[in-house]
Structure 1
């Protein structure tokens, strides 16, 4: 008998559908999506505009409720939670990184990073906080305001904020979309590092094949369905697959 226990997936979607609107105005954003994302993995989600990428992320993260199917975070079925339960889950078990950084301009770097803890009524673990600040390269910048930082530094603050609660999953929505190529690479290396050295689980929506090439696996969405998965692919292979996706999805 194997002594290896089955580790529950970080996130699993089972037969998930999401329809926006009703009747003749109904638009299907996701259709019967079933996928599991392993703990300690970096997954990129790609697809043409309107393919359902953002809806996938919102349903997986508990920001939006699917019309059908089941979403689980670890062993928690999200459909069994009321709005208060979902808010607590998002605050304590999930981290978010967005294209627009979403920092509070009046707060310092340190205050922005610890904001999720304050909202949850929890004190920061000083050692963990120092470790996060060091890892994201913000040592010596913690008393600055966002306006005093570059775009790349602001995104590092956002990543630190996402990590500070020790979330089960970090969801990143186009995290390099507002950054230049060099800065984008720094942010992607940082996300990759959180997976490799901290065992973090990262799910990233991106339109950029170079960004996606940092992931362990790429999920391709077209017309609300997962049409392909590529593991360990180069930017060129991913771009080539996206080209065909566009052709067949039309």
Structure 2
């Protein structure tokens, strides 16, 4: 599956101020956070990992999230994906508010409407590649669809690897399996946490091409945390976090523009927040 990049327009720096996110048509929003705060601890020792996030991301888009260590990137991803509960504010996924959901309902939502890609692949070594791909179907209580699994594996260039075990594949191939697994249920949103962090440059480019193509050819929505400006340049927009706040964004920026913006972000003043 080839990498299809949309034309990028550059305005010199590519950076823009951070006004309120633009209004999006009802039903066109994949991820929406309003006034989201996440605090760990109390009193003088409290850590404000997220300090009030307002954000609406459209369906069928690719968003990268960057920031210095301790800026709140992982906390943002966890709150947006329903893996952690905000201390204040609301989170909507595909029009459904998840903030007050019970843990059982949240688990069911994650299994049926969300996909995840992690740096460490998180494949089960005792299962075959095909069994790993259909695992979300099993967890959601559905009968595994081997045809759909084969289709997804073909999309990521592993159509002939379904019977192998993860340990028989390279790191890049394992990440391709993880992407196929994330796509198999046609989720509302795919959350990717440093998906290229354990890969060499060439393999990382291939994996990013798969995520880009999932957006362009399948209408998927991808939200990716990364530290790599080259990876972020594959996205439609890059959001920059510092001290738990959204401080800037670049639309369709180059790796050079993104790297330059990162250098201007000051180190966070608090300690202990998730990076």
TM-score bracket for the superposition, by shorter chain length: over 0.9
Q: How many residues align?
A: 246
C-alpha separation in 1, matches of 2:257 and 2:59 = 25
TM-score, scaled relative to structure 2: 0.87
Q: Deviations over 1:97-138 (max 9, x none)?
A: 000001101100000111111111112344432221111111
C-alpha separation in 1, matches of 2:124 and 2:151 = 22
Cα distance 1:242–1:138, how it changes in 2: closer, same or farther (>3 A)?
same
Q: Which runs of 5+ in 2 are unaligned?
A: 1-23, 270-275
Cα distance 1:120–1:74, how it changes in 2: closer, same or farther (>3 A)?
same
Runs of 4+ aligned residues of structure 1 deviating over 6 Å after TM superposition are: none
Q: Which one of the candidate residues 31, 37, 49 is aligned to 1:17?
A: 37
C-alpha separation in 2, matches of 1:74 and 1:123 = 24
Please, which moves more after superposition, 81-90 or 122-131?
122-131
C-alpha separation in 1, matches of 2:221 and 2:39 = 28
Higher helix share: 1
Please, which moves more after superposition, 78-87 or 186-195?
78-87
SS of match in other structure, 1:118: helix
Equivalent residues in 2 for 1:1-250, closer than 5 Å: 6-246=26-266
C-alpha separation in 2, matches of 1:123 and 1:138 = 22
SS of match in other structure, 2:241: strand
SS of match in other structure, 2:208: helix
Compute the RMSD of aligned alpha carbons: 1.4
SS of match in other structure, 2:265: helix
SS of match in other structure, 2:35: strand
C-alpha separation in 2, matches of 1:75 and 1:196 = 22
C-alpha separation in 1, matches of 2:149 and 2:225 = 27
Q: Which runs of 5+ in 1 are unaligned?
A: none
TM-score, scaled relative to structure 1: 0.95
Q: Deviations over 1:37-91 (max 9, x none)?
A: 1100000000000000000000000000000000000211112310000000111
Kindly indicate whether the alpha-carbon contact (under 8 Å) linking 2:34 and 2:55 is maintained by their aligned counterparts in 1: yes
